[in-house]
Amino acid sequence: MIIMRSITEQGHTFEEWLTPDMIARDVKQVADHISRDYKDKEPLFIVVLNGAFVFAADLIRAVDKDLHCEITFIRVSSYWGMATTGKLEFIVPLQQTVTDRDVIIVEDIVDSGLTIHQLKAHLRALGASSVKVASMLFKPEKLEYDDAKPDYVGHEITGEFVVGYGLDFDGFERNLDAIYKAKKS
């Protein structure tokens, strides 16, 4: 008998969708791909807080131990401005020089792609040699910015809202070891 794990947050029910084992397999596949692609390089992982901290912690420990890499953190808030490019506000600014670096942005989920679209433009303007994106989840149907399509994806998902494994509902549920999908009513 399969017992579906579910949680309730602020009156909304979420059902387990990706188990810890499935997540571990996804992370390993992304890590192996990155290890191959960056074998002779020295990438800088830029982790987008808050949501990506759990994925990032697993990812950097799953890449090949010989991969010579650095890791740093930023926190951004993107919003629509009058300009078509929108505006990116740094809540935790970038501490590291990215000039001539091969950067891998680590995200929890790419939805419309606005955050990644703006962040990529920003990092390129700072002189990064290359900017790629590793995201635990990707909602292809919601993507509005072609250049924000992640290069490395753990799992694709349709439009549903998800929580757990770093992803929150109003700040809560980040600590869940699985990823839960909003139950359709």
Phi, psi of 145 (to 5 degrees): -125, 110
- Closer residue to ligand 5GP, CB minimum distance, 34 or 88: 88
- Closer residue to ligand 5GP, CB minimum distance, 104 or 109: 109
Site residues for ligand 5GP per CB under 6 A: 51, 78, 107-115, 161-163, 167-168
The three-state secondary structure class of 177 is coil
- CA distance linking residue 64 with residue 33, whole number of Å: 10
* Gap between the terminal Cα atoms of the chain: 24
The distance of closest approach from Cβ of residue 56 to ligand 5GP in the complex, given in angstroms and rounded to an integer, is: 12
- Closer residue to ligand 5GP, CB minimum distance, 101 or 117: 117
Query: Is 108 among the residues known to form the active site?
Result: no
The distance of closest approach from Cβ of residue 104 to ligand 5GP in the complex, given in angstroms and rounded to an integer, is: 16
The distance of closest approach from Cβ of residue 6 to ligand 5GP in the complex, given in angstroms and rounded to an integer, is: 16
Among 111, 146, 170, 177, the active-site one is 111
The distance of closest approach from Cβ of residue 108 to ligand 5GP in the complex, given in angstroms and rounded to an integer, is: 5
- Closer residue to ligand 5GP, CB minimum distance, 31 or 119: 119
Number of CB atoms found within 10 A of residue 173's CB: 19
User: Which residues contact residue 134 at a Cβ distance below 8 angstroms, ignoring those fewer than 6 apart?
Assistant: 30, 34, 59, 104, 105, 106, 107, 150, 151, 152, 153
- CA distance linking residue 24 with residue 45, whole number of Å: 19
What positions carry a catalytic annotation?
A: 111
